[in-house]
Structure 1
């Protein structure tokens, strides 16, 4: 089995669970060494276990590092921790950076608070900016670096209750285009925009929100659940919701595709990973 990312180092923020963990698994399967980042002390055991499992299964080096990437100190400590673990013969290089960490605080316009705004923009917008700033000195100088920002179709769809969350993802996509120009001799920079994805964030949505996006789900060709292919519980849920969310591995596969050498002519793009929910 080929390992196209053999010996490279990838940092995945917010990767103890969900999409981030699936991305880490995808990169590890291709030979990439990894930094598994998490924020809360409650995620320490999960992140450590994931790092151990990936190291053992894929014969790579993986470490878990706690850091709140939405603060200058946290972003700096993430990169410092990576340097401590992955400097060899005085050389340290970050080949792949996945800005995945994010939160969602959804509410109708009259109920949005300044706290909601500041917390969400701190993690979803300031966080990727700070981490990319801290990582920039250690990116390659031959265009082989890869930076992937995890956005959302919420940046375009105008979903009810997502004034703040959708705004953060639109900002992230704007930064993606700017960084693609500023870092063009160092790395390609792209965004990936999932729609609904399996996991606790999607499951936490109230019935009113799910009903509001049902029309979008019904018209997303790849969200149609298939009996005998998708798990029975997914098929049952799809009868109510109109379709199934993405499996985390499906989004991770598109991210992994953008990390390879063959993706070197793609930069500044928002790459769809939403089953056709948004077509562009």
Structure 2
């Protein structure tokens, strides 16, 4: 029987086809697109693999396999092959993240051998804003200086631990995580309001392409929540991002986080999709 579909690990020779597929959804694919634009498709440099699923010689779906397992444009047939390959390879990721149906399909097949999951975030709305925010920006939110890294990192660790449920610095004492935060600071993608040596509000832009950027790590000091800092702070981040980083600003949020969702709506974000996360 003629084989009309296949899966293989992609490399640099596939670059044009991969980016053409990623660019069909620049907001939904911003994380993977950013990683590949920065490091290319060579797995040694990327620290991950990109699996391609082709039908009749045409690349139709991708799966990024690194610290996160991320399906892209994957229908049932591609999900079946990605799951078989992932099961054969063994779990190397700390999460599966992507479109709700695709992640659900992967987890249905991988759960019996990879489970149980530590947590499943079944529906996380994806938000986008490409116009100026609807509210005034907090004038005290600015780019973090390298000299303030010691102030910012503890706030980043607190946010990550609160959001994910495990600290990001438990494996190696935090050196890799600190290096990542420092990279964001040095590239002008870490924003905060800092008062008397304390972070009041912070957020980082973790992924950037020519078409979109993704905000991550939004956090307000626990003693100051409910005071509106996230609204003015996000407005400041959006203004800076639209001015000199990317023409669209995106993020995703837990559906049960009503205060955050309300704050983002006030800033002007609109819902454009949803993802699901399976955390290990």
Q: TM-score, normalised by structure 2?
A: 0.29
User: Normalization by structure 1: what TM-score?
Assistant: 0.29
Higher relative contact order structure (alpha carbons within 8 Å, sequence separation ≥ 6): 2
Largest Rg, 1 or 2: 2
